[in-house]
Amino acid sequence: MTDTNRVALAFSGGLDTTVCVPLLEEEYDYDEVIGVTVDVGQPESEFEEATETAKALDLEHYVVDAREAFANLCLQSVKANATYQSYPLGTALARPVIAEAILDVALEHDCTALAHGCTGKGNDQLRFEAVWRDSGMEVIAPVRELGLTREWEQEYADDHDLPVEGGSEGKYSIDTNLWSRSVEGSELEDPATIPEDDIYDWTSSPDGDDPETVVLTFENGMPVAVDGESLDAVTLIETLNEQAGAYGVGRTDMMEDRMLGLKVRENYEHPAATVLLTAHEALEGLVLTTEERQFKNHVDQKWAEKAYEGLVDAPLVDALDGFVETTQNRVTGSVTVKIEGGHCRAVSRESPHAVYSESAASFNEADVTGGIEQADATGVAKYHGFQSRLANRVSEDGTEEAEESLELPQTD
């Protein structure tokens, strides 16, 4: 142990976290600041920026590779068909993984506090702190606690010769990981503004290219192969991002309801997530019963809500996972997805666990599986909707109309 007062900072090398380094020393009296950058699939340029900025600040800096853990969580979310208001939760799923990695570094280096550069208006402050507040360490949020603005931060950086770029570069707030790329800010904050194509990086504008088919293989609900080639989680996601992104698949432009009640305009790119979620739902449609699918819709929605909140380790999620995993025991098989013109759709599906009988469903077969004949449906048809028909014949004053006008099911 040491008497040195250390704080571990979630460090990106951008303006917010760069300004946080001296502020943690000046305003919070910490002797040492440790910067931690966590790799969940960002571009290499972001790590170069973080490393160079840390060096210029003389900041002790660590880069943690958490891509595998993050990719596995993303594929776990596919089992729950997890989306929040139509987007596949890339940013939300990444935050607990990042927070856990930073906490591990903090514990390893005897830190007494954890810090982030999140504002007081976003979701990330809540997601980070949901993980950290169980650690017993102090949690510090300089941007929120000191009421900092971007203008103040830029002026402070200039006055203290901090290594940050000024000017108009980076007018958008962009967050990138394996599962999604988000773009917000600047003119995009106006919901009436139509985004220019240059905000997109992963996806090409849809054109008239010939469609392409992709075969996804699942084992117990988990994607394991693309076009017959077994791939690890990270490579599988990267492959589909490139393959589907070339066709403009996976764009979302939405008004997102944040946890604090604010609405924000968000633009997302998520090609791999879109393809995998489409394929997985198609396979579930083949192998799950009607009741399982109906109930699982509720479970999936609640799972996604907890993931959006950054609470994937909540006891409720453990319980939800129990149900999800039980249903996934039969979600094994393959789905062919066609990608074209900014869209993807399942065009075939196969599974040894299909809850489907071709002969039963065929229009060309007289008999149905189990010896049931078409005529056997007559009784069901007579009873179907009977209560509604009866209710509709009750007048407003509570008296019944002539019963003879109502066709009654016959009983023996």
Residues acting as catalytic residues:
16, 95, 124, 173
Was 75 annotated as part of a binding site? no
Report the C-alpha dihedral over residues 128, 132, 137, 143, rounded to 10 degrees: 10
The letter for the amino acid at 333 is G
Was 323 annotated as part of a binding site? no
Was 361 annotated as part of a binding site? no
> Residue 264: how many CB atoms within 10 A of its CB?
17
Nearest to 215 by CA among 332, 334, 350, 354: 334
Was 13 annotated as part of a binding site? yes
Was 87 annotated as part of a binding site? yes
Residues with Cβ within 8 Å of 244's Cβ and at least 6 positions away in sequence, in order, are 214, 250, 271, 272, 274, 275, 339, 344
- 113-115 and 138-140 beta bridge pairing: parallel
Was 412 annotated as part of a binding site? no
Was 200 annotated as part of a binding site? no
Was 117 annotated as part of a binding site? yes
Was 17 annotated as part of a binding site? yes
Was 359 annotated as part of a binding site? no
Was 370 annotated as part of a binding site? no
> Residue 412: how many CB atoms within 10 A of its CB?
2
Was 397 annotated as part of a binding site? no
User: What does R_g of the chain's alpha carbons equal in angstroms?
Assistant: 27
Helix axes of 150-159 and 15-26: crossing angle, nearest 10 degrees: 70
Nearest to 254 by CA among 70, 89, 128: 89
Tokens of 144: 């929120």
Task: Give the span between the Cα atoms of 82 and 189, in whole angstroms.
Answer: 26
Tokens of 173: 């707030």
The side-by-side arrangement of strands in the sheet containing 32-39 is 60-65, 32-39, 6-10, 113-115, 138-140
Was 134 annotated as part of a binding site? no
Was 14 annotated as part of a binding site? yes
Was 390 annotated as part of a binding site? no
Task: Give the span between the Cα atoms of 122 and 179, in whole angstroms.
Answer: 20
3-class DSSP string for 63-105: EEECHHHHHHHHHHHHHCCCCECCECCHHHHHHHHHHHHHHHH
- 367-368 and 333-340 beta bridge pairing: unpaired
Was 70 annotated as part of a binding site? no
- 333-340 and 343-350 beta bridge pairing: antiparallel
Was 10 annotated as part of a binding site? yes
Beta strands in 124-260 (DSSP E): 138-140, 173-176, 181-184, 212-219, 222-226, 229-230, 251-257
Task: Give the span between the Cα atoms of 203 and 95, in whole angstroms.
Answer: 24
* Known binding residues for ATP: 10-18, 117
* Known binding residues for L-aspartate: 119, 123-124
* Known binding residues for L-citrulline: 87, 123, 127, 173, 182, 256, 268
